[in-house]
Structure 1
Amino acid sequence: MIKTKQKLRERFLEKRKLLLSDWVKRNSEKINRRLLSFPEIFGRRNFSVYLPINNEVDTKTLIDALLRKRVNIVVPSYSKESRNYFWAKFLGWNNLEKGPFKILQPAKIFPVDSLQIEVAIIPGLCFSKTGTRLGYGKGVFDRLLKKTNAFKIGLAYDFQIVDNLPKEIHDLAMDAIITEKRVIRS
Structure 2
Amino acid sequence: MQIKKNLRTVVKKKLKEMSAVEHKNKSEKIKEHLNLTTLWKEANTIAITISRGTEVDTYKIIENAWREGKKIVVPKTYPEKNEMVFFQINSFNELESTYFQLKEPKETVCLPKSCEDIDLILVPGVAFDRKGNRLGFGGGYYDRYLAHYKGKTCALAFEEQLVSEIPVESFDVPVQMIVTEDQVYKC
User: What range describes the TM-score normalised by the shorter chain of this pair?
Assistant: over 0.9
Contact 1:114 1:145 in 2 (8 A): no
Which piece of structure 1 moves more, 21-30 or 72-81? 72-81
The structural deviation recorded for 1:130 is: 0.7
Which piece of structure 1 moves more, 68-77 or 100-109? 100-109
Which piece of structure 1 moves more, 74-83 or 39-48? 74-83
Q: Aligned equivalents of 1:171 and 1:80: distance in 2?
A: 19
* Other-structure match for 2:156: 155
* Other-structure match for 2:85: 86
Distance 1:99 1:14, change over 3 A: same
> Which segments of structure 1 move beyond 3 Å, counting only runs of 4 or more?
79-84
Contact 2:46 2:70 in 1 (8 A): yes
Contact 1:12 1:126 in 2 (8 A): yes
Unaligned runs of 5+ in 2: none
* TM-score of the pair, normalised by structure 1: 0.93
Q: Aligned equivalents of 2:20 and 2:99: distance in 1?
A: 23
SS of the residue corresponding to residue 162 of structure 1 reads coil
Contact 1:74 1:89 in 2 (8 A): yes
The structural deviation recorded for 1:169 is: 1.1
Letter in 1 for 2:26: N
Q: Aligned equivalents of 2:184 and 2:89: distance in 1?
A: 27
* Other-structure match for 1:173: 174
The structural deviation recorded for 1:62 is: 0.8
The structural deviation recorded for 1:3 is: 0.8
Contact 1:142 1:171 in 2 (8 A): yes
* Other-structure match for 2:68: 69
The structural deviation recorded for 1:154 is: 0.7
* Other-structure match for 1:52: 51
* Other-structure match for 2:125: 124
RMSD: 1.5
Unaligned runs of 5+ in 1: none
- Note the alpha carbon deviations across 1:101-141, whole angstroms, 9 max, x for none: 11111123321111211111122111001110001111121
Letter in 2 for 1:147: H
Q: Aligned equivalents of 1:130 and 1:3: distance in 2?
A: 21
Distance 1:81 1:161, change over 3 A: closer
Distance 1:100 1:178, change over 3 A: same
